[in-house]
Amino acid sequence: MMKKHTKKRRLGQKISLFFSIFCYVMAIAAAVFAFIWKADNGTQDPIFASALASIFFFGSCGFVLHYIANANLPDFNLKT
């Protein structure tokens, strides 16, 4: 029988996980905004390009922060 390994996250990793979820939500919000803006104003407006850049930015930040939150970091505490 396999023993389930529970991952113990440190404070920084918990904060990274929270902000990665926040970034994913913001990327979805920017995608919805871009879809609505495209329906009303078309794709030639600079605001539409900014919305696409925001989707890419928040998605990339969310990915990196999610990767940091799930990293297996070594314990460098010196115990005497």
The model's pTM: 0.81
The 10s digit of each residue's pLDDT in 33-80 is 999 999 999 889 999 999 999 999 999 999 999 999 998 877 777 776
| Mean pLDDT, range 11-25, rounded to an integer | 95
| Residue 79 resides in a domain | no
Q: How far is CA 4 from CA 1, 7, 44, 66, in A?
A: 9, 10, 53, 21
Total domains present in the chain: 1
| Residue 48 resides in a domain | yes
39 or 6, which is more confident: 39
Domain that residue 65 falls in: 20-69
Counting every residue written for the chain, the total comes to 80
| Residue 13 resides in a domain | no
d(CA 69, CA 10): 9
| Residue 12 resides in a domain | no
The pLDDT value given to residue 78:
73
Confidence of residue 2 (pLDDT cuts 50, 70, 90): low
45 or 7, which is more confident: 45
CA distance from start to end of the chain: 36
Nearest one of 15, 1, 16 to 68, comparing CA atoms: 16
| Residue 49 resides in a domain | yes
User: Looking at this protein, which amino acid is placed at residue 26?
Assistant: M
